[in-house]
Structure 1
Amino acid sequence: MRVELGECQVKVAVIGCGTMGRTHAAEWKRMPGIRLAGVCDAQEGAARSLAGRLETEAYEDFDRMIGEADPDIVDICLPTHLHKEFIFRAARSGKHVICEKPIALSADEAEEAAAECRKHGVRLFIGHVVRFFPSYADIRRKAAEGTIGTPAVLHAKRMGANPGLAKPWYANSDRSGGVILDLMIHDIDFAQSLFGGAVSVYAMNRREGNTDYALATLRFGSGEIAHLEAYWGFPGPFTTGVELAGTGGVLRFNSEDAVSLRVFKAKEAAAGSGVAAAVPVPKSPSTYNPYYLELAHFADCVRTGREPEVTAEDACSALRTSLAVIESARTGRPVKLQDAREGENRHVYR
């Protein structure tokens, strides 16, 4: 079945009315050319509350929502262990699919979900939203422009409160994948968007009480390295940071800084000084938040048929690498990604 969109507004339905579902639904509601056709949640109160606030229809039953709202796109904002089931159900209903990351809990489930969407002629988009954060997008763009020469080493961190304290399913690694699959995967995807598919990983993971901490080193096909840190249980505000070092300088961002991005570019030293100047270049924040940018991009891809910033294969690759990180942390040994292909080792700066 091939889905064609008419000239009318694109209709979107959201399933899952938790934090992420509320975030997505609010962005859809204010987006030109989009009609939020309904929201669905097994907890009727959650669906009715969100629907009332956004002036749309509330549903408890997914199939009823599909039949009555007849959306063009289904946006899946459910716990990770439910992703595959509802990707299948949406695809079999002939609906394009947007699904929060990660795509699934296992590589097999991810490949099956992608294949099911191809079978029914619908698009599959996975919400690796960090690609749409202005500072991270700036880093990728400047790397591609050659601002820091040849990028070689990435350091990235992501830390915040443990979501398992509020929602128990996060604390169950069989349902969430823990801090690696739910949080570090953001930076794994970002690293692979720079360097291509990782070829090996080495990691540690410490869980104690309400703390879930992971540290991983990824190696890439042309010798690049990424050092990634993720932490549930951080006592301060949610914090992210990234630093990309190349042969000609450094790109750096930290959420604790007031500016979006600083560029420290290596320059020719003045004669006799022996010192290379470092010049910070601030960037203005985006008018729209990253979730709006991400969803608007996916909707545009549905309308136009163009390739998305994050492909289903990108999402599958990020999942495979994340699972390798989990395996390395479990065994205490490096893990090679046997399916890291030559074609995955593309570089934005070439």
Structure 2
Amino acid sequence: MIKAAVIGCGSIARHRHLLEYQANPEVEITAVCDINQERAEDLGSIFDAMAYTDYEEMLEREEIDVVSVCTPNYLHAPMTIKALESGRHVLCEKPMATSAEEADEMIEAAKNARKWLMIAHNQRFVPSHEKARQLISDGEIGKVYSFRTAFGHGGPEGWSADGADSWFFKKDEAFIGAMGDLGVHKTDLLRFILGEEIVSVGAFIETSAKDHSTVDDNAVCVLRTAGGTIGTLAASWSYVGGEDNSTIIYGEKAMLHLEEDPVNNLVIQYHNGDRVKFELGGIQTNESGGQKSTGVIDAFIESVQADTEPPVPGEEGKKSLEVILAALEADETKRIIDL
């Protein structure tokens, strides 16, 4: 039995990590930790786990095999490194860090401790995305020319445990807004689906929708891959009409429509007009309350049990983070940034 602990008892822990650990028959939830004692004790009671307000004390006192780090972005690196150094495998929420240097330190800590580090990029585990990756790899749509991907909703105030006062809106805690919350998911997804790296980034990043925010809430990026494929990525906290988590891949032989339709999660539109539709179960959304499993926890536990590299190791998390960091630089300097 794998003994698990979660640091940070906000919405991502409550609705995803803890529920998915609980649903895995190979896992026992041992402890939870949050600086908000009431929040920690509440989740500790719900999941029959010890509650702590000091994560270092928890790491020292409890028998734990794996740790989920579900805290504000600026704490990801120090808490992950501490947990790794204490001899635990770590699943860290995205974005994995606030700089490439922090990401390197996390990766190095995992290597030194001989423990696994996984980053919670859950879009890789969506059935339509896995199917699209396979179709592209098999040459089903021919050469990929372009893409368009978006991830937007009304903002973290509808999801975060602290509402409009959430750390998501505070630059000193979040470091980055919609681009770190949503955009980094899509940079990771594009790298996964296309099977190649993003090498050039242009961006327009704004704070225009949230008066109480000191981080970005709207961004549009232009990306180019190593193979010359170009496309756009949009990340937004201003989509008041509902969540958009869709992607279109434009190929030589066909177009792939991903998560545009709640029923037909993948639609292949061939150049001759034929259409093939797949009902694959859909993507998890904030609007659904996070009840649909992401597959992240199960993949993490499987890697720990088998002692094999997880599907999204720290190195992969860093590459997806670097695209976001390049977007920030592109917006600030008003030029294209080459990775």
TM-score using structure 1 length? 0.86
CA RMSD of aligned residues (A): 1.9
- Which of 301, 306, 309 lines up with 2:308 in the alignment? 306
> SS at the partner of 2:5?
strand
Deviations 1:200-244 (A, max 9, x none): 111101212417211101111111113101111221222211011
Mapped partners of 2:259, 2:304: distance in 1: 33
* Amino acid corresponding to residue 326 of structure 1 in structure 2: L
Match of 1:15 in 2: 7
Match of 1:315 in 2: 317
1:26-105 maps to which residues of 2 (within 5 A)? Answer: 26-105=19-98
Mapped partners of 1:265, 1:301: distance in 2: 38
Match of 1:189 in 2: 188
Structure 2 residue 149 is matched with structure 1 residue 156: yes
Match of 1:127 in 2: 120
> SS at the partner of 1:217?
strand
Kept in 2, the 8 Å contact 1:132–1:291? The answer is no
Deviations 1:2-22 (A, max 9, x none): xxxxxxx01110111101111
Kept in 2, the 8 Å contact 1:24–1:291? The answer is no
Deviations 1:284-315 (A, max 9, x none): 31799764411101111111122322121111
Mapped partners of 2:250, 2:205: distance in 1: 25
* Amino acid corresponding to residue 171 of structure 2 in structure 1: S
> SS at the partner of 1:240?
coil
* Amino acid corresponding to residue 155 of structure 1 in structure 2: R
Q: What is the percent sequence identity of the aligned residues?
A: 29
Mapped partners of 2:226, 2:75: distance in 1: 34
Residue 172 (structure 1) shift: 2.2
> SS at the partner of 1:243?
strand
Residue 262 (structure 1) shift: 1.2
Residue 115 (structure 1) shift: 0.6
TM-score using structure 2 length? 0.89
Mapped partners of 2:12, 2:52: distance in 1: 17
1:203-282 maps to which residues of 2 (within 5 A)? Answer: 203-210=203-210, 212-266=217-271, 276-282=272-278
* Amino acid corresponding to residue 86 of structure 2 in structure 1: S
Q: How many residues align?
A: 320
> SS at the partner of 2:257?
strand
- Which of 136, 142, 146 lines up with 2:135 in the alignment? 142
Unaligned runs of 5+ in 2: 158-162, 211-215, 285-290
Mapped partners of 1:287, 1:172: distance in 2: 28
Kept in 1, the 8 Å contact 2:118–2:311? The answer is no
Mapped partners of 1:66, 1:31: distance in 2: 22
Kept in 1, the 8 Å contact 2:196–2:227? The answer is no
Residue 265 (structure 1) shift: 2.5
- Which of 166, 175, 181 lines up with 1:168 in the alignment? 166
Residue 44 (structure 1) shift: 1.1
Match of 1:293 in 2: 295
* Greater Rg by CA: 1
Match of 1:201 in 2: 201
Residue 249 (structure 1) shift: 0.4
Moved more, 146-155 or 228-237: 146-155
Deviations 1:229-288 (A, max 9, x none): 11112212222110111111011023454322112133xxxxxxxxx1221322231799
Match of 1:330 in 2: 332
Kept in 1, the 8 Å contact 2:40–2:53? The answer is yes
Mapped partners of 1:125, 1:48: distance in 2: 27
Mapped partners of 2:103, 2:313: distance in 1: 12
Q: 1:130 to 1:292 in 2, by over 3 A?
A: closer
Mapped partners of 1:33, 1:61: distance in 2: 26
Q: 1:10 to 1:47 in 2, by over 3 A?
A: same
